[in-house]
Structure 1
């Protein structure tokens, strides 16, 4: 080692700096630095890029790891001058929150119905609408970039919505149910929303997932998969019965006097989820009346009309609202074998005064409220998980 003398002592720092065999951290090869930057979590990425000018330069061609789900908390109230932003919680930093830039005066008068990476699909609140004309828009909550969509007429807005967008070209696709009987879509290049005639037989659809150019549609009778990879209309490539794991709701319940209805109702959600490996899951989550504990049942599709119970997600974590799973093994900020979900009902934004958001460990059945410390003093009406997409 050229930095050690015959006596085995380290050379003085100034002498080592003059030694041609010594290398400064700021002079590391840019390709090596980029490999490191691409593996850093958000907080570490922000710290590393501020070390020196050369590291900051390399960071412009990199982006932090975006496999950790973040939480959006929307402010309570509809004052466009006070509530035109939202707060972001990063599970890697349990005591910090980030405030977005100004997201526009109509942000407080809209609510988020679905997300894709950092993009939100925003729908106007019913009390601010005229008749039944809906004007949705797509918003990047980190940059404020906005894509306006044409208006369309329907009674309840866009239900079961899915959103996909290409970060580079800004090609985008929005699909949802405009009525119980038919689906509509809009993509870049269209002048108006279009009904999708080939999506037949999905009446009453209540859960959709769009992944790898395939649309998964679930109602109480069938699961159907449509291929959107072609230039023409989507083609149905698979269908199967779900009668073995789903039953259509029925009956009625009586309201108990003196107790708010929202505290008596049995909350229930049924979602489609497509895993990293392409397995199709149906997730039933429900909370009996008066209970604070959510219960889960998970079924995996084996083949046509065949389903089996699932009790573990292994090294993956489920983002229930997004209908996907992500790898979570040995990653700080995300728990494997867990379900990330919220109890929000996106089509009835005023149904509850406050949305709760949870992480449920399927191994221990423990429920965590990861935002409790930092959010206790911030009034909010809605919250949801999303996967951020960090740009330069």
Structure 2
């Protein structure tokens, strides 16, 4: 249900610093430039043709970049929470979050990050967002029909410290996968009525612990729901490593290494920007056992990452980069699989 159905070739949505958005087809080496301009907006995430935008007035919306159909979302201050509120400071782009323990001040709209899932019909969606700063205690979400956001607390586990914090998120349909600061994966079910979410991690959380804790790491989810760990080097992006859960680890809470390295995605491809795999389709430019990548994203790390647009083949250990994009003065780029609707 959550595997995207494509109606076109895998492409790159490019965002030049001088404005606008440009769709690039790397298979053909061609550009489609007339996708409109979105002045003052930041693109936070995408799901097929739909993009999550935050405008200069701190308003979130979902926009189909082809049809320009727009879904307006609740304000960032519209939080349904028993012990937390978000308030905007005057007409500025600064917010404060008040909870029962403390006040988080100087939360700028510039640090808002998000995730998006939209169904193939375009009628259902899930939006997840947070103030992307170290130590922040909440992520918030809403679905179609919701009038407010619901908070998910990140630091309320007392003795279960391995389940605290946030280092990575993947949204696949109405399931949210959260990697904690200690690389344990929590899974939340976001379906149901407004305000509902359920931690469905189970009694034994999935630990994604490799021997290389200092490397950049991401999680990804396959079409079958399996969680993968992806590592790459910090600086030159000269290699990737892919791991799956080691089935021989009996007690992940006591183990130092809980994953085993693999050299294949089983014929699928990984869109690391989106956090999930898709079936390979050479006719659409989707090569098997390939990781498509533009930049590294780790929430709450405050680490800048330059764009590095590439495709890495796990079998040949080779990179395919796109030097004709180097002169475009890009602000951002995202791998893009057009929707099937």
Contact 1:344 1:383 in 2 (8 A): no
2:36 & 2:173 partners in 1: Cα distance? 33
Equivalent residue runs for 1:179-194 within 5 Å:
180-194=136-150
1:346 & 1:381 partners in 2: Cα distance? 18
1:311 & 1:343 partners in 2: Cα distance? 21
Aligned to 1:334: 286
1:166 & 1:314 partners in 2: Cα distance? 25
Equivalent residue runs for 1:47-66 within 5 Å:
65-66=6-7
Equivalent residue runs for 1:210-289 within 5 Å:
210-221=171-182, 222-231=184-193, 233-238=196-201, 240=205, 242=207, 244-245=209-210, 269-288=216-235
Alpha-carbon offset, residue 196 of structure 1: 3.1
Structure 2 residue 129 is the aligned partner of structure 1 residue 176: yes
Contact 2:138 2:154 in 1 (8 A): no
Three-state SS of the structure 1 residue aligned to 2:53 is strand
Residue 366 and residue 241 in structure 1: after superposition, are their counterparts in 2 closer, same or farther (change >3 A)?
Answer: same
- TM-score, normalised by the number of residues in structure 2: 0.72
Residue 318 and residue 350 in structure 1: after superposition, are their counterparts in 2 closer, same or farther (change >3 A)?
Answer: closer
1:295 is matched with which residue: 235, 239, 249? 239
1:76 is matched with which residue: 14, 17, 24? 17
1:309 is matched with which residue: 261, 264, 272? 261
Contact 1:113 1:346 in 2 (8 A): no
Unpaired runs of 5+ residues, structure 1, are 1-63, 78-82, 250-267
Contact 1:67 1:387 in 2 (8 A): yes
Higher helix share: 1
Three-state SS of the structure 2 residue aligned to 1:168 is coil
1:108 & 1:235 partners in 2: Cα distance? 38
RMSD (Å), alpha carbons: 3.3
State the structure with more CA Rg.
Answer: 1
2:168 is matched with which residue: 207, 221, 227? 207
Q: After the TM superposition, which of the residue ranges 154-163 and 165-174 deviates more from structure 2?
A: 154-163
Unpaired runs of 5+ residues, structure 2, are 77-94, 97-106, 158-162, 253-257
Deviations 1:179-217 (A, max 9, x none): 621121122223332223599556431211122432111
Residue 338 and residue 196 in structure 1: after superposition, are their counterparts in 2 closer, same or farther (change >3 A)?
Answer: same
2:223 & 2:8 partners in 1: Cα distance? 12
Structure 2 residue 52 is the aligned partner of structure 1 residue 121: yes
Count the aligned residue pairs: 287
2:148 & 2:231 partners in 1: Cα distance? 35
- TM-score, normalised by the number of residues in structure 1: 0.64
Three-state SS of the structure 1 residue aligned to 2:233 is strand
Alpha-carbon offset, residue 329 of structure 1: 5.3
Q: After the TM superposition, which of the residue ranges 187-196 and 356-365 deviates more from structure 2?
A: 187-196
Aligned to 2:82: none
Three-state SS of the structure 2 residue aligned to 1:170 is coil
